Amino acid sequence: MKSTRRVNAARFGRNRFDDWIAMPIYPPFTPIISALPSTVPFVGPEAQERAGGQKFRARIGANESSFGPSPSVIASMTEAAPDMWMYCDPDNHDVKVAVAAHHGVKPENIVIGEGIDGLLGLIARMYVGAGEPVVTSLGAYPTFNFHIASVGGRLVPVPYKNDREDLDGLLEAVRRENSRLVYLSNPDNPMGSWWDADEINRFVEALPETTMFILDEAYCELAPASALPAIDVSCPNVVRMRTFSKAYGLAGIRCGYAIGEEAVIAAFEKIRNHYGVSRMAQIAGEAAIKDQAWLAEVVRKVEAGRQRIAAIAAENGLDALPSATNFVAVDCGRDGAFALKVLQNLLAREVFIRKPMVAGLDRCVRISVGLDHELDILAEELPKALAAARAG
């Protein structure tokens, strides 16, 4: 039975004061949820295709791997498909053991989750209370911000410096705010920049022991080895997060993992969704991390793709920023309004890309490495999009 309340229809523009209509009574949301805007961090390419009534010819905006998973992963998934009537293993045992063996740590140092996004949501619940400060970079991966907002945390954003996240600025903000949590992606999204391991280690050593450092390494397999600090699971205030969505070509599976000290990882078990990582995701993740030969092939193809995007940019008088990811940030040479026009004109030409939106970074568009035919389409359509933007 539905509850309703009588609402004066005059408030809705009716002439008769005694004309009433029935309105449903909604249970109240929490104050935190009520205060949040109704928005999402990303508008997916599928939503844009539905709105435009046509498919993108080049899907090079979501930082997926167009090269897909390895043949061995596809074979494992195909073999397992008839068993999808069963629930997943709530312990994520096999994939956890495989990930631990790959990194030379114990399974107790690994937690599996629904991609890095799912793990970030758990971190927010574990460490952030209402009103508590959380330090991040202004313009960094926005899903982290949404998780912090959902628990009522107060974001303290630090501007980028020279198109990189500002380590000294982040450290200063942590000390000033007495923040319990600081977030950094290395390599970085959306600019593709990175810090070498020595600088990351310096940052960790300078952090207060009471501050948890979330090191998002979603793109680490595509970065130079010099960007990756050695894994040290004895450090109780560092959690490193990785994913199968990028280099391993499994973005649609939603499987990632965190590496950390045993007591920290054990705390995830208190609140994680134990049936959140599907049986298929567990099988795919285990097979993927065992196929390092395929990973090496993808890394080679991504490097070639980055060079191709940089060449296309140069042919059009634009500068491509150095990248350690599977995308390239391309400086459009003017302001954010102009870069937005470039993006919109490419979307109109069925080329899906994205761009940073924060001032200073928003002069760029962000182009993911795609298959050869997709980059051929980019090379054909970018001059037209630029011409339209300049004429606009």
pLDDT digits (tens, 9 = 90+) for 187-246: 999 999 999 999 999 999 999 999 999 999 999 999 999 999 999 999 999 999 999 999
Q: What is the pLDDT of residue 42?
A: 80
* 237, part of any domain: yes
Residue 15 has pLDDT above 70, yes or no: no
**Which parts of 45-193 fold into alpha helices (H)?**
45-52, 71-80, 93-103, 115-127, 142-150, 167-177
Same domain for 307 and 361: yes
Cα separation, 375 vs 369, in Å, equals 8
User: What is the rounded average pLDDT for all residues in the chain?
Assistant: 94
Residue 291 near residue 73 (C-beta atoms within 8 A): yes
Cα separation, 20 vs 131, in Å, equals 41
Same domain for 300 and 278: no
Same domain for 241 and 314: no
Read off the pLDDT of residues 85-142 as tens digits, 9 standing for 90 and up.
999 999 999 999 999 999 999 999 999 999 999 999 999 999 999 999 999 999 999 9
Which one of 290, 313, 343 terminates a domain? Answer: 290
- DSSP class of residue 265 equals H
Q: What is the CATH number of the domain that holds 210?
A: 3.40.640.10
Residue 8 has pLDDT above 90, yes or no: no
Closest residue by Cα to residue 330 from 59, 43, 60, 41: 60
Q: What is the pLDDT of residue 9?
A: 47
Q: How many domains in the chain?
A: 2
Same domain for 84 and 59: no
Read off the pLDDT of residues 73-93 as tens digits, 9 standing for 90 and up.
999 999 999 999 999 999 999
Give the CA distances from residue 219 to residues 187, 193, 281, 299, 309, in Å, rounded to whole numbers and listed in that order.
6, 11, 19, 11, 18
Same domain for 261 and 120: yes
Residue 10 has pLDDT above 80, yes or no: no
Read off the pLDDT of residues 30-69 as tens digits, 9 standing for 90 and up.
999 888 888 777 889 999 999 999 999 999 999 999 999 9
Same domain for 305 and 250: no
Residue 101 near residue 107 (C-beta atoms within 8 A): no
Stated pTM of the model: 0.92
Across 23-27, 239-243, 352-356, least confident range: 23-27
When pLDDT is cut at 50, 70 and 90, the band that residue 6 belongs to is low
* 304, part of any domain: yes
Same domain for 113 and 57: no
Cα separation, 18 vs 36, in Å, equals 35
* 16, part of any domain: no
Same domain for 223 and 148: yes
Calculate mean pLDDT across residues 3-8: 51
Same domain for 369 and 348: yes
Domain extent for 331? 45-66+294-391
